[in-house]
């Protein structure tokens, strides 16, 4: 106006790094409290999960206590070659995979069944009693569980052999017969872990909108139809997550179960010796830290590959169901 010209000042140039830094500051400022709350967990994960990864190099060294980790001689893949060239490697790998597949399938099925039954329990006191009774075995140490199992399977004074004697059958030397132990360990694992595993499914069921069931009742759906068409589809995401996590731990067996319940009997190694028990014996009896580390690295790498492949397969089928 009035012949005067207005000039606009040029905006200061903001670099890409400045924009990113500003975005990070905003995220930090808006989520300061959650960051502080998660800090102990992050530190725990860093100290006990990431820092120990430095010890992976032991698997590639001829470790000696007097020289330490860095001073020990590099041997490359010799420890892995020694591990896989022995007759033990196929056995412990087979046992670990087979037993974990059995545990995964039976565990998920049993936990899901118990959760479905618990969801139908009417009455607060009864529900609490059943939940406590199913949850209690989870807190019992495997050392105590091993004593319980021995009380049932002892040749001289075992309850099972006592029943067999009453039926006119010969007693069985359970701790000398490997063929029985996949079933025994499966039963022990179900008894101890089903109650704990059912809590997760039960929590998801309690979060399902009751209006779904009310609408199904109006349409004349039976209880089984409500479970099949409403409850189970709602549980599919958590079941997939559980399967993926189980596959990730496929090569990491429950050491306490496989060591304490069979009582480390050498006669049972054909069916009860897994990678974790082998690593323990390699450390305690053979004092071969390099080979034990090689077996542990083998577990971790294969477990990681299994999780990635399983998640990839889920993404191909239904991307919304994948873990990442």
The fold of 78-321 is: MetI-like fold (1.10.3720)
Output the CA torsion sign for 118, 124, 126, 128: positive
What is the reported pTM?
0.79
**275-278 LR contacts (CB < 8 Å, sep 24+):** 275/92, 275/93, 275/96, 275/251, 275/299, 276/96, 276/252, 277/92, 277/253, 278/88, 278/92
> What string of pLDDT tens digits covers the 324 residues of the chain?
455 555 555 555 656 777 778 788 888 788 888 888 888 999 999 998 888 888 889 989 888 888 888 888 898 888 888 777 777 888 888 898 899 999 999 999 999 998 888 887 766 677 778 778 888 888 899 999 999 999 999 888 889 999 998 888 888 999 999 999 999 999 999 999 898 888 888 888 888 888 888 898 888 888 888 888 888 889 888 888 888 878 777 878 889 999 999 998 889 999 999 988 888 887 787 777 888 888 888 888 887 888 788 778 778 877 776 667
Quote the CA–CA distance of 221 and 244 in Å, as a whole number: 32
């Amino acid at each position: 106006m009035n012949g005067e010209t207005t000039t606009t000042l040029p905006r200061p140039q903001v670099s890409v790094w400045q924009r990113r830094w500003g975005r990070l500051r905003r995220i930090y400022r808006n989520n300061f409290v959650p960051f502080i709350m998660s800090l102990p967990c992050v530190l725990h994960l860093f100290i006990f999960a990431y820092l120990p990864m430095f010890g992976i190099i032991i698997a590639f060294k001829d470790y000696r206590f007097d020289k330490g980790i860095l001073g020990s001689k590099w041997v490359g893949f010799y420890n892995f070659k020694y591990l896989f060239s022995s007759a033990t490697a196929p056995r412990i790998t087979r046992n670990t995979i087979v037993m974990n597949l059995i545990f995964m399938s039976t565990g998920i099925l049993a936990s899901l069944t118990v959760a479905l039954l618990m969801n139908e329990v009417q009455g607060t006191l009864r529900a609490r009693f059943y939940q406590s009774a199913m949850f209690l075995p989870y807190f019992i140490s495997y050392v105590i569980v091993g004593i319980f199992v021995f009380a049932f399977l002892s040749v001289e004074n075992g309850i099972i052999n006592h029943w067999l004697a009453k039926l006119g059958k010969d007693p069985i030397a359970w701790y000398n017969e490997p063929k029985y132990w996949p079933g025994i360990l499966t039963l022990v694992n179900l008894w101890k872990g089903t109650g704990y595993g059912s809590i997760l499914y039960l929590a998801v069921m309690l979060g399902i909108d009751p209006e779904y069931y009310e609408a199904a009742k109006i349409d004349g759906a039976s209880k089984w139809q409500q479970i099949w068409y409403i409850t189970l589809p709602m549980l599919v995401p958590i079941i997939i997550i559980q399967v993926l996590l189980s596959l990730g731990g496929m090569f990491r067996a429950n050491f306490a179960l496989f060591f304490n319940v069979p009582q480390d009997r050498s006669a049972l190694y054909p069916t009860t010796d897994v990678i974790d028990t082998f690593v323990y014996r390699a450390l305690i009896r053979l004092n071969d830290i390099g080979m034990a580390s090689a077996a542990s690295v083998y577990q971790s790498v294969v477990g990681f590959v299994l999780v990635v492949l399983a998640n990839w397969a889920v993404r191909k089928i239904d991307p919304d169901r994948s873990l990442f």
